Amino acid sequence: EAQLLESGGGLVQPGGSLRLSCAASGFTFSSYTMSWVRQAPGKGLEWVSAFGGSDTSIYYADSVKDRFTISRDNSKNTLFLQMNSLRAGDSAVYYCAKVLRGYSPDQFDHWGPGTLVTVSS
């Protein structure tokens, strides 16, 4: 059974940086697109970014483009999200999610428990 576990969240000041990690197990990590999805307190789900089968299959939401960078280390079964120039509006629980089918870009069949990011002075 696939399992995902995020880490790296915490309190950071506006303009600061944070790096999230997602440790994966129970499936062939390199064979699936992986994504980050966030949820601000009391709000709905917002897709953030996805990393497919290669560097040419990287996607970002407009709200984080040029500030966030997604990467993955297939040798360590780990997904990352480097977040720079953080704003109050980036405060949310960040979920790591695995897609259902190969390198398809969406339809998420496994989710981690999430890690909370709070941007505040």
Partner 1 sequence: QSVLTQPPSVSAAPGQKVTISCSGSTSNIGNNYVSWYQQLPGTAPKLLIYDNNNRPSGIPDRFSGSKSGTSATLGITGLQTGDEADYYCGTWDSSLSAAVFGGGTKLTVL
Residues that bind partner 1 (CB under 8 A): 35, 37, 44-47, 50, 59-62, 95, 100, 105-109, 111-114
Nearer to partner 1, 35 or 78 (CB): 35
Q: What minimum distance in Å lies between the beta carbon of 20 and partner 1?
A: 15
- The residue among 105, 9, 118 whose CA lies nearest residue 60 is 105
115-119/10-12 β-pairing: parallel
Q: What minimum distance in Å lies between the beta carbon of 16 and partner 1?
A: 25
Q: What minimum distance in Å lies between the beta carbon of 112 and partner 1?
A: 7
Q: What minimum distance in Å lies between the beta carbon of 102 and partner 1?
A: 13
Identity of the residue numbered 52 = G
Question: DSSP string covering 43-78, please?
Answer: S-EEEEEEE-SSTTSEEE-TTTTTTEEEEEETTTTE
Nearer to partner 1, 13 or 91 (CB): 91
Neighbours of 51 (CB within 10 A): 21
Contact 19, 80 (CB under 8 A): yes
